Each structure stands twice: as C-alpha cells, then as structure tokens.
C-alpha cells in the first residue's frame, strides 16, 4: 500500500479525527504539485472553520472566519470539478465537502449498492441522499449503510414495506439522522420504525408528508428506542388530537427541541395537551401551522411553552 493510500485509509477509518486530515494536508504539500498544494490549503481551512480554531489551537476571529470562508469559496470554484470527478465516475450526482473531504453524496439506490465500497475507499462519506426508486430491500441489506450517520430517502415511494425493511436492518445502527419524508408510509410502517432496536442513535427523524395518522404517532410516542430524538418532523401526516395527546404524554420524547406537527388535523384539545405536557420542556420550536386550532388555544400554547418556542400559529 502506498503512503498516500495509507493516509486516506486512516481518514476513512476515523472520520471524526482531524489529525489524520491535517497530516494528509502536510503530505500533499510536501509531495504534490500546484493542485495538491491548493487541496492541502482547502483541507486546513475547512478543518479550521469546522472547529473554530487554527491548527495551533488558537480560536479564529470573526474577521478570520470571513477571510477563510471567502477563500474556501474561491478554492471550490477553481477545483470543484477536479475534486469531485472521482465520485462522479462512481455515480454520485452531487458532492458536499466537509473538513476538506467529500462527506455527503447524492446517489441512486443502485449506484449506492454497487459503488459505495469504492467511494468509501477514497473518502470518508458519512451522509447519503438516495435518489430514484429502487430495490429498497436490497438497500436495507447493504452493509455500506453501517458507515453512515445520515440517510435521506425523501420521495422514494418506499411505503410500509420499505419502512419495515429499513427498520429490520442492523446496518442503520449508526444513523443519527433519517429522512423518510413523502414516502407513502402509513401506520404499519411507522409502527415498525418505532419498534426497531436499530435506530437507537437517532437524534433527527423526518417523516413529513406520509400518512402515519394517530396510530403511527402513538407508536412513535411509545417507542423506547427513540429516546435520543431532539428533532421530529411529523408535518402533513393526518394526525389528530389522539396522536397529539400521545406525543405530549410521552416520556421517551423529553429530549425534543423541535417538533413539527403542521398541516395535520389537530384541534384546540390537542394543542392544549401539548401546552400542558411536562415532557416538552426542552422544546425551542413547536410548529402547529395549518391545523384547526383557535386563537385562544394558541395563546395557551405560547404562554405555556414560551413565545420564543416556534411557530404555534393558526392558518
């Protein structure tokens, strides 16, 4: 194995450690050409922006952040095509760089299954946006999911069957963010997700625009496996007062700081249940727009939860 490949392998094995990235930047500067020197600079400045500190540990000032951000944009404009080309050849359609390396890719389901091992061999991708309908069961069975902390499957039509397949997958155990919005998931699929012991690290779950209804909301509220959630998006899900009351009564959702229940069928009774909940004290954003809540009940919500805590608005 070449020295460069060994350095890349160390970065991919420990993506949270900037030391490996900065060592690689030094190697590029010592062994590379003009393009490699620019890449080394890019790695260092993105690491500094992410950590808020220079390589020597000194906090960066607002003026330095402004300068580094400007230089970051300049380097990306000059080298974007060159730096993302290896991933495009493996099926990635968009690439997001974090701390000097591709961290997030948009990719079709088939290309993810076929090429993710090759992608992970050259960069520490931890987040994937899956595009296009495909074999969700094959995706759920892919061991490449185990390297991800974030998975977005918005609008893939996976339905209850797909949700059950994902819920049963042990490869989702490292996910902290899961976006399953607009997928035709109903009560059965949401119950499977709620019962999954593989989703215990989730802090952010997005189920916007499905049809989970009260039964689905009740299952999520009762889940012992979702206790780390800080963000839960259940907008546009046919949830009524029964679902709202279950969420309000859930001890398992006490860490929530953001809860979206917009575009449902919640009335004054559900809103008052949310307002009186002893388990929602950490909310900083509660969205209730486009429900059937009157002005008086909204005032109760705002008074109990604080006006600073989001969009408790009637539409």
Which residue shows structure tokens 């499905």? 210
**Which of 156, 203, 153 minimizes the C-alpha distance to 175?**
203
Instruction: Kindly report the pTM of this predicted structure.
Output: 0.94
Helix (H) or strand (E) holding 7: helix 3-13
Domains of the chain: 133-305 (3.80.10.10)
Check if the beta carbon of residue 313 is closer than 8 Å to that of residue 288.
yes
Predicted pLDDT of residue 305: 79
Which residue shows structure tokens 């088939």? 110
Q: What angle do CA 271, 230, 261 make, to 5 degrees?
A: 30
Q: Mark the ranges of the chain whose per-residue pLDDT is less than 50.
A: 307-310, 312-315
Predicted pLDDT of residue 32: 83
Show Cβ contacts of residue 17 under 8 Å, excluding neighbours closer than 6 positions. 11
SS3 of residue 85 by DSSP: helix
**Which of 267, 218, 262 minimizes the C-alpha distance to 243?**
218
Predicted pLDDT of residue 56: 81
Q: Which two tokens stand for residue 136?
A: 């969700």
Rounded distance, CA 300 to CA 295, Å?
Answer: 9
Predicted pLDDT of residue 9: 96
Q: Which two tokens stand for residue 110?
A: 């088939």
Show Cβ contacts of residue 57 under 8 Å, excluding neighbours closer than 6 positions. none
Buried-state track 217-238, b at ≥16 Cβ within 10 A, e below 16: bbbbbbbebbeebbbbbbbbbb
Burial of 152 (C-beta count, 10 Å sphere; 0-12/13-18/19+): buried
Predicted pLDDT of residue 113: 97
Angle of helix 109-122 versus helix 62-88 axis, rounded to 10: 120
Handedness of CA 247, 253, 256, 258 (dihedral sign): negative
**φ/ψ (deg, to 5) at 152:** -120, 125
Predicted pLDDT of residue 281: 92
The total of other beta-carbon atoms located within 10 Å of residue 29's CB is 16
Helix (H) or strand (E) holding 107: strand 101-108
């Amino acid at each position: 194995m070449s020295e460069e490949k060994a350095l890349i392998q160390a970065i991919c094995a420990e993506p949270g450690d900037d030391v490996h990235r900065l060592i690689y930047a030094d190697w590029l500067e010592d062994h590379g050409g003009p393009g490699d020197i620019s890449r080394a600079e890019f790695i260092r400045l993105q690491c500094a922006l992410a950590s808020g500190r220079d390589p020597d540990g000194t906090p960066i000032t607002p003026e330095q952040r402004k300068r580094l951000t400007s230089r970051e944009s300049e380097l990306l404009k000059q080298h974007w095509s060159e730096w993302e080309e290896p991933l495009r050849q493996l099926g990635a359609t968009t690439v997001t760089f974090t701390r000097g390396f591709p961290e997030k890719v948009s990719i079709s389901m088939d290309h993810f299954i076929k090429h993710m091992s090759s992608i992970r061999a050259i960069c520490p991708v931890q987040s994937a946006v899956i595009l296009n309908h495909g074999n969700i069961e094959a995706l759920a069975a892919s061991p490449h999911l185990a390297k991800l902390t974030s998975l977005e499957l918005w609008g893939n039509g996976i339905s209850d069957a797909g949700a059950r397949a994902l819920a049963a997958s042990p490869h989702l155990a490292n996910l902290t963010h899961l976006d399953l919005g607009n997928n035709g998931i109903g009560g059965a699929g949401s119950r499977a997700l709620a019962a999954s012991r593989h989703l215990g690290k989730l802090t952010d779950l997005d189920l916007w625009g499905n049809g989970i209804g009260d039964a689905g909301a009740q299952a999520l509220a009762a889940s012992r496996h979702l206790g780390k959630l800080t963000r839960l998006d259940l907008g546009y899900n046919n949830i009524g007062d029964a679902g709202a009351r279950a969420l309000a009564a859930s001890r398992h959702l006490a860490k929530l700081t953001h809860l979206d229940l917009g575009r449902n069928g919640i009335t004054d009774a559900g809103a008052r249940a949310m307002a009186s909940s002893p388990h929602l004290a950490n909310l900083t954003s509660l969205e209730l727009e486009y429900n059937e809540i009157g002005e008086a009940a909204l005032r109760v919500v705002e008074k109990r939860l604080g006006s600073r805590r989001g969009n408790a608005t009637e539409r």
